[in-house]
Amino acid sequence: MKFIETRGNDGQRPTSITFSQAILSPMSSFGGIYSPESLPAFDEAFFQAHIDSGYKTLARDVLSAFEVDIDQNVIDEALNLYDEFDDPNNPVPVVKVYDDLYVSELYHGPTRAFKDMALQPFGKVLSAVAQERDENYLILAATSGDTGPAALETFKNRDKVQVACLYPDGGTSDVQRLQMVTEDAANLKVIGIHGDFDDAQSALKTLLVSDKFNAALKEKNISLSAANSVNFGRIIFQTIYHVYSYLELVRQGAIVLGEQVYLNVPSGNFGNALGGYYAYKMGLPVKQIHIASNSNNVLTKFITTGKYDLRGASVIPTTSPAMDILKSSNIERILFDLFGAERTKELMLQLDQEKHYELNAAELQQVQAIFAADFCTDAEGLDYIKQAFEVGYLMCPHTATCFKAYDTCREDKSVKTIAYSTAEWTKFSPVIAYALTGDKPEHDIDALELIATKAQVAIPQQIASLFAKPITQTTVIDKADIEKEILDFL
């Protein structure tokens, strides 16, 4: 399979590239990114053949359908990392909450968030490609809280790879911050910045296309890549769990094969939702994809009005900080798939230069045929957390936003919903403790213990051990100093 550029070709780059080339160099002409030239098609026979498949078997066959140019032994080693999840036989449990609402739990990996589903195998694949080419890579990561810990975890101590991870100082949960600042591998650098996630992501994209920065890296014999979902190496692994979750509903007897479902996805940078979109385009029986946002509701406005408008907007800190994002990178791939490169370039350059764009009526109709959206306030999220707990389900505030979309976006109440839980309760314990008890513990460890007692659950060792680890990453800087800090690290 070949990958092509979302904003067209500038005449300086190849018109198409392989998967391995796309993951090593994810940015394309005119500031665009790479998308598949075409998608594989999954017919009923494919789904029938995988009714009883384990996750790794399904993943192997999905990757095979994409015809990725990665050695099969490397793919097998990458997929074997799912054996380190809580249940090797079922790394993505799908849990019934209501008769027509099932939650796909994506957080049972080492950092307790959904980014592990993609980044655990992706780290192995990218490092293997770098070693095969005998090339050194700097991996940039910008995080609103989940990508950073997952990227650091997957790349630590890997040969031929160094990582610089940018996070908004004060813009993550305490546990997310501790997961990053206690990392001590020599090939990792964690950098807090004065700003928000959009600032971190903008800095990452600027560095990826900066001739000056890339020249400085070349002098050090280092090439540049990224761990964010601008990299299709992330997205390809995020298509798999949508297929698996659907088949799990079939296995549980909730639906019959071929029956349509709603996918309900909490969305910030839109990579998780894009994986669902690609699964739908490849043949997964999806009636509609529901996009759940918090008060940073730019995606809700876009899907309901066709207007993507950042003029005068600033990030609102919420209780679901991993979704505190205004500029969602993967909307670009949706535009490209629906409207082509020329229109995508026009819209994205307008967003870059003027901070807004607007779809025409026909384009909006195409988007709304596939997507619906709503947003959830912090207060509503607290209520949803409490309501779910009363029926025996403990969830994080990001998952809570899905419950709002579940209430408001379904046009056909007979259709089952798969909602995606992107983080374990341990990552955001003060919010959950307040929702369940009305108390506001001063420290995360107190909130964790309060919830563990009330819910009669254990605090996972990966989280409990964080509070005794020494802080090894102390850098917090202004945005203007990011490039110098990274070069000094290298």
Are 66 and 38 in contact, with CB atoms under 8 Å apart? no
At 313, phi and psi to the nearest 5?
Answer: -90, 150
Number of H helices, E strands in the chain: 21, 15
Residue 201: per-residue pLDDT = 93
pLDDT, tens digit (0-9, with 9 covering 90-100), for 329-355? 999 999 999 999 999 999 999 999 999
419 within domain boundaries: yes
- Between the alpha carbon of residue 171 and those of residues 91, 199, 388, the distances in Å are 29, 12, 26
Are 463 and 112 in contact, with CB atoms under 8 Å apart? yes
79 within domain boundaries: no
* Locus of tokens 């592990």: 116
pLDDT, tens digit (0-9, with 9 covering 90-100), for 260-291? 999 999 999 999 999 999 999 999 999 999 99
CATH of the domain at 337: 3.40.50.1100
Listed residue (459, 389, 460) closest to 86, CA to CA = 460
Q: Exposed (0-12), middle (13-18) or buried (19+): which is 360, by Cβ within 10 Å?
A: exposed
Q: Which two tokens stand for residue 374?
A: 């709503």
Q: How many CB atoms lie within 10 A of CB 210?
A: 14
249 within domain boundaries: yes
pLDDT tens string for the chain (490 positions)? 999 999 999 999 999 999 999 999 999 999 999 999 999 999 999 999 999 999 999 999 999 999 999 999 999 999 999 999 999 999 999 999 999 999 999 999 999 999 999 999 999 999 999 999 999 999 999 999 999 999 999 999 999 999 999 999 999 999 999 999 999 999 999 999 999 999 999 999 999 999 999 999 999 999 999 999 999 999 999 999 999 999 999 999 999 999 999 999 999 999 999 999 999 999 999 999 999 999 999 999 999 999 999 999 999 999 999 999 999 999 999 999 999 999 999 999 999 999 999 999 999 999 999 999 999 999 999 999 999 999 999 999 999 999 999 999 999 999 999 999 999 999 999 999 999 999 999 889 999 999 999 999 999 999 999 999 999 999 999 999 999 999 999 9
* Locus of tokens 């730019």: 298
Domain span at residue 333 reads: 88-111+233-466
Q: How many CB atoms lie within 10 A of CB 104?
A: 24
190: three-class secondary structure by DSSP: strand
412 sits in the region (left: phi over 0; alpha: psi -120 to 50; else beta) called beta
Are 374 and 292 in contact, with CB atoms under 8 Å apart? yes
Are 55 and 66 in contact, with CB atoms under 8 Å apart? no
393 within domain boundaries: yes
33 within domain boundaries: no
Q: How many CB atoms lie within 10 A of CB 355?
A: 15
For residues 95 and 252, give the distance between their C-alpha atoms in angstroms, rounded to a whole number. Answer: 10
Torsion 474-315-399-428 (CA) sign:
positive
For residues 349 and 364, give the distance between their C-alpha atoms in angstroms, rounded to a whole number. Answer: 19
Listed residue (39, 5, 43) closest to 25, CA to CA = 5
Tell me the DSSP string of 141-157. Answer: EE-SSSHHHHHHHHHTT
Q: Which two tokens stand for residue 68?
A: 């990725």
Are 385 and 397 in contact, with CB atoms under 8 Å apart? yes
Question: How many domains is the chain partitioned into structurally?
Answer: 1
282 within domain boundaries: yes
132 within domain boundaries: no
pTM: 0.96
363 within domain boundaries: yes
